[in-house]
């Protein structure tokens, strides 16, 4: 049985003091969650967030990681740095990084390998743009993105990664994939993993939906059999909204 995982992606929001305040507000609201709860915060917030979350069921994640262990990469952060600061998870290959920062499937794969080797759990984002869906490429594209991202991992390492299916046209737009659309595409991703790595591995991988997920639509999405959680942007910035998503079963 896969344990659901609800992760907030704060994107470029919240200073360290604001991060501490939001986590303090969240702690009592999410303490009985049946899902794994993660907040992926700006890098400078990680240490403060981890300290605030200590002893609670809130896990802290980063939003990107460099693929090298160390060296002359001005402005970048290694997996070991993020881990020591208190991150347990890291978002990799978010569409905003692919669109604005030249992220490719190959660099996503390198970052995934670096994260896993350092003991971080990657949340690997895949998803199609609107014109790609309209042209009928969604299944081929998410399959390709997923297969490249997982290249070089062992079966056991793959069991432990999280994949987030985020249709780009649904991010920050208020448009959500229908429950059935999200379930179908996540099923395609799971099938691709099964075809290459076998049924047992595919059955263990947690695959989230992301894109305008909120307290209103979470229940319907989470009722779908392939959907194991959510990666939440806007609705993760306010404690009442994020906790309502986390506690979708109530
Ligand atoms: P929104 O929930 O704001 O649409 O963002 C989704 C997202 O990009 C999460 O990574």
Q: What is the mean pLDDT of the chain?
A: 97
pLDDT of residue 1: 83
- The residues spanned by each domain of the chain are 5-246
Q: Which residues of 113-130 are buried (b: 16+ CB within 10 A; e: fewer)?
A: bbbbebebbbbbbbbbbe
Concatenated DSSP letters for 40-71?
E--GGGHHHHHHHHTTSSEEEEES---SSSSS
Q: How far is the CA of 174 from the centre of ligand 1 (A)?
A: 10
Q: What angle do CA 128, 134, 139 make, to 5 degrees?
A: 50
Q: How confident is the model at residue 80 (pLDDT cuts 50, 70, 90)?
A: very high
**98 contacts 126 by C-beta, under 8 angstroms:** no
Ligand 1 lined by 217 (C-beta under 6 Å): no
Ligand 1 lined by 167 (C-beta under 6 Å): no
State which ligand 1 atom lies nearest to the alpha carbon of 125.
10
Ligand 1 lined by 166 (C-beta under 6 Å): yes
pLDDT of residue 75: 98
Ligand 1 lined by 212 (C-beta under 6 Å): yes
**57 contacts 30 by C-beta, under 8 angstroms:** yes
State which ligand 1 atom lies nearest to the alpha carbon of 172.
4
Concatenated DSSP letters for 181-226?
HHHHHHHHHHHHHHHHH-HHHHHH-EEEEESS--TTTHHHHHTSTT
| Residue bearing the CA closest to ligand 1, atom 9 | 233
Q: Percent of the chain scored above 70 by pLDDT?
A: 100
Q: How far is the CA of 150 from the centre of ligand 1 (A)?
A: 22
Read off the pLDDT of residues 90-108 as tens digits, 9 standing for 90 and up. 999 999 999 999 999 999 9
Ligand 1 lined by 171 (C-beta under 6 Å): yes
CA atoms within 13 A on the CB side of 240: 1
Residue in 94, 96, 128, 226 annotated catalytic: 94
pLDDT of residue 103: 97
What distance in Å separates the CA atoms of residue 175 and residue 46, rounded to the nearest whole number? Answer: 30
Q: How far is the CA of 198 from the centre of ligand 1 (A)?
A: 30
What distance in Å separates the CA atoms of residue 116 and residue 120, rounded to the nearest whole number? Answer: 5
Using alpha carbons, select from 126, 213, 200, 134 the residue that is nearest to residue 167: 126
Q: How far is the CA of 175 from the centre of ligand 1 (A)?
A: 11
| Residue bearing the CA closest to ligand 1, atom 1 | 233
Task: Calculate mean pLDDT across residues 123-144.
Answer: 97
Backbone angles phi, psi at 173, to 5 degrees: -105, -15
Q: How confident is the model at residue 22 (pLDDT cuts 50, 70, 90)?
A: very high
CATH code for residues 5-246: 3.20.20.70
Backbone angles phi, psi at 216, to 5 degrees: -80, -40
Read off the pLDDT of residues 137-192 as tens digits, 9 standing for 90 and up. 999 999 999 999 999 999 999 999 999 999 999 998 988 889 999 999 999 999 99
Task: Calculate mean pLDDT across residues 25-44.
Answer: 98
pLDDT of residue 175: 86
| Residue bearing the CA closest to ligand 1, atom 7 | 233
Q: Percent of the chain scored above 90 by pLDDT?
A: 97
């Amino acid at each position: 049985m896969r344990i659901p995982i609800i992760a907030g992606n704060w994107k470029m929001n919240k200073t360290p003091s604001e991060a501490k305040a939001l986590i303090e507000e969240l702690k009592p609201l999410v303490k009985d969650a049946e899902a794994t709860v993660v907040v992926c915060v700006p890098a400078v917030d990680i240490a403060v967030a981890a300290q605030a979350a200590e002893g609670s069921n809130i896990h802290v994640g980063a939003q990107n990681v460099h693929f090298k262990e160390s060296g002359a990469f001005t402005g970048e952060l290694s997996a070991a740095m993020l881990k020591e600061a208190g991150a347990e998870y890291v978002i990799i290959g978010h569409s905003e990084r692919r669109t604005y920062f030249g992220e490719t499937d190959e660099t996503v794969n390198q970052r995934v390998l670096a994260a896993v080797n350092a003991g971080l759990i990657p949340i690997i984002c895949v998803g199609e743009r609107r014109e790609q869906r309209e042209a009928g490429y969604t299944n081929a594209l998410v399959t390709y993105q997923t297969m490249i991202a997982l290249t070089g991992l062992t079966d056991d390492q793959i069991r432990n990664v999280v994949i987030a299916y985020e249709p780009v046209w649904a991010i920050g737009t208020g448009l959500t994939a229908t429950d059935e659309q999200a379930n179908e595409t996540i099923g395609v991703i799971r099938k691709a993993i099964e075809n290459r790595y076998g049924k047992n591995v595919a059955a263990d991988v947690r695959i989230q939906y992301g894109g305008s997920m909120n307290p209103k639509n979470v229940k319907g999405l989470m009722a779908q059999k392939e959907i194991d959680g959510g990666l939440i942007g806007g609705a993760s910035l306010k404690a009442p909204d994020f906790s309502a998503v986390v506690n979708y079963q109530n």
